[in-house]
Amino acid sequence: MNDLRNPLQRALGLGSAKEGVNHWWRQRITALALFFLGLWFMALVLMLLHGDYTSVHATLADPINAVLMLVFIIALFWHMQLGLQVVIEDYVHTRWLGVVLQIAARFYAVLAALLAALAVLRIALGR
Partner 1 sequence: MDHTRRPLSPHLGIYRWQVQMVSSILHRATGIALAVGTLLLLGGLLTLADGSTAFAAYRSFLAAPLLQILLIGWTWAFAYHLCNGVRHLLQDAGFGFAKPVFVRNGWIVVLLSLLLTILAWAWIVLAGCAP
Phi and psi dihedrals of 62, rounded to 5? -55, 130
Binding partner 1 by CB under 8 A: which of 71, 74, 92, 116? Answer: 116
CA separation for the pair 51, 37 (Å, rounded) = 21
Residue 107 in the binding site for partner 1 (CB under 8 A): no
Helix (H) or strand (E) holding 18: none
First-last CA distance in the chain: 65
Nearer to partner 1, 18 or 127 (CB): 127
CA separation for the pair 116, 70 (Å, rounded) = 8
Q: Is there a contact between 71 and 37 (Cβ–Cβ < 8 Å)?
A: yes
Interface characters, 31-70, with partner 1 (x: CB under 8 A)? xx-xx--xx--x---x--xx--xx-xx--x--------x-
Nearer to partner 1, 5 or 55 (CB): 55
Residue 98 in the binding site for partner 1 (CB under 8 A): no
User: Within the chain, how many helices (H) and strands (E) appear?
Assistant: 5, 0
| Binding residues vs partner 1 (CB under 8 A) | 28, 31-32, 34-35, 38-39, 42, 46, 49-50, 53-54, 56-57, 60, 69, 73, 76-77, 80, 83-84, 87, 112, 115-116, 118-120, 122-123, 127
